[in-house]
Amino acid sequence: MQLKKTIVFTALFTFLTLFACAQTGRIELAWSNAEDAVMYELEIATVAVNKDIPAREKHVVYTRSNIYTPGVQLPLSLFEGQDLKKLYFRARPLDLDENPVGPFSQPAVLGDMTLNPLKPTPTALYNDRPVPLYPVYSWIPVKGAAKYEVEVTDQVPESPNGIKPSKHRIRSYALTQGFDFYDPEPLLKEGIYYWRVLAYDKDNRPIGVYSDPVLLEVKTEGYDWATFGDSITHGGGAISNPPSDGRFDYSTYLPYEVKNLGKSGDTAEALENRFDQEVLPFKPKYLLILGGSNSIRGGTSAEDVVQSLAAIKQKCRENNIRPIFLTLPPVNPERIQRVFNEGTAPNWQTELLKVNAFIKQQPDYVDIYSPVVDEQGLLPVKYAQDGLHLDISGKRIIGQKVSDYIKKHSLS
């Protein structure tokens, strides 16, 4: 009898939660990721405009330009009294200064979109490449969310379409803002994992239910190639695009399957310290090493960076790994200050060139500095809008340079 009461109570609680969610009156719009978009401009109008120009003002019902994901949830109250089947939306990518960097998407009928979504929509799917050592979980922000809970499990969650934590949970995280979460723990053990996210309102009540679980298949063997470095390796770019978007991972553009062992925020010393625990389990034959940017811009001497890189090289040799170093790309202090409100060491150019001189003395190295530096020795905005993390165009250059090296030296 007690079991039946528990089941009925759980079902009633879930129903009430879903009912409350339905009463919020939301609609979720989504569109394709544009290349190197910092943000998107959304336009909703009473006519379907197919040209790459804004609709006439008299036709515009709603417009907004500070959307940092390829989708958004809006309150239905914005369209009260209007037929959603007679409204059309489209979006176009903007840069940091809100200038268009691409065309509008094709107009779509507002009424065809998801009304009162019951679960968040994940955007980190990892179906185009191996799961990075440090996954990043991302989703379309939920309207009215004051916080999110991200859950990682080692089996399929037994409670889909619910709000209860899974008994298969191996880690969970809470965050109060944003639309992505950088897992601080590596996925080192081979196996099948899943991640999902649940939104909460300001009163700590669930908004709907957990998102559908997203598969994370982790393999520790079978990788001849791996990348090792900081956020430039980990991925992400164009300011708002997280590493879960494979287009910002330079290994995506290499001719072989690659395991990404990058970790955002790493210094050269941090790379040296985590090498044994986080590189050796994957037994790569070749290791592409790009590290030291955070150290140099933070004021660490070139000598200290070189010492760490030399130690990594020695560790590789001792473990039958062929190290291939990448020269450090330049940075753009003005953009870094503007985007991150962080300063850059005044002697960064001198120290960076010293590190690159060391790298160019190695048996295997790829020069990625030269193709992305301007006349002033800076990283141009066209390659990195935040002054540090190369955008898609920059990652393609890295991928091409490394691919050329692989081909030239017949590495496989």
Domain ranges, ordered by start, for the chain: 1-24+116-219, 31-114, 225-408
Q: Which CATH architecture has domain 225-408?
A: 3-Layer(aba) Sandwich (3.40)
Interval 93-136: pLDDT, tens = 999 999 999 999 999 999 999 999 999 999 999 988 999 999 99
CB 34 within 8 A of CB 40: yes
The CATH code of the domain at 1-24+116-219 is: 2.60.40.10
- Return d(Cα 214, Cα 150) in angstroms, integer: 11
At residue 24, the pLDDT reads 59
User: What is the reported pLDDT for 177?
Assistant: 81
Q: Which residues of 45-76 are buried (b: 16+ CB within 10 A; e: fewer)?
A: beeebeeeebbeeeeebeeeeebbbbbbbbee
Backbone angles phi and psi of 353, in degrees to 5:
-65, -30
Report the amino acid identity of residue 226: A
Q: How far apart are CA 95 and CA 55, in angstroms?
A: 20
Give yes or no for residue 13 having a pLDDT over 50. no
| Residue that wins the pLDDT comparison between 324 and 16 | 324
Cα–Cα distance between 114 and 123 in angstroms, integer? 16
pLDDT of residue 23: 41
Identify the pLDDT of residue 178: 82
- Can you tell me the mean pLDDT for 216-239? 96
CB 171 within 8 A of CB 146: no
Q: Where are the beta strands (DSSP E) in 261-391?
A: 286-290, 322-326, 365-366
pLDDT tens digits, residue range 336-368?
999 999 999 999 999 999 999 999 999 999 999
Alpha helices, DSSP H, located in 236-301: 268-278, 293-297
Q: What does the block give as tokens for 336?
A: 């870094």
pTM of the entire predicted model: 0.92
Q: What is the mean pLDDT of residues 156-185?
A: 95
Mean pLDDT, residues 17-40: 78
Residue 5 has pLDDT above 60, yes or no: no
pLDDT at position 12 = 43
What percent of the chain is modeled with pLDDT above 70? 94
CB hemisphere CA count around 118 (13 angstroms) = 14
CA–CA gap between residue 73 and residue 220 (Å, rounded) = 38
pLDDT value at position 286? Answer: 98
Mean pLDDT of the chain: 93
Q: Comparing 92 with 177, which gets the higher pLDDT?
A: 92
Q: Which single residue is written with the structure tokens 């017949």? A: 410
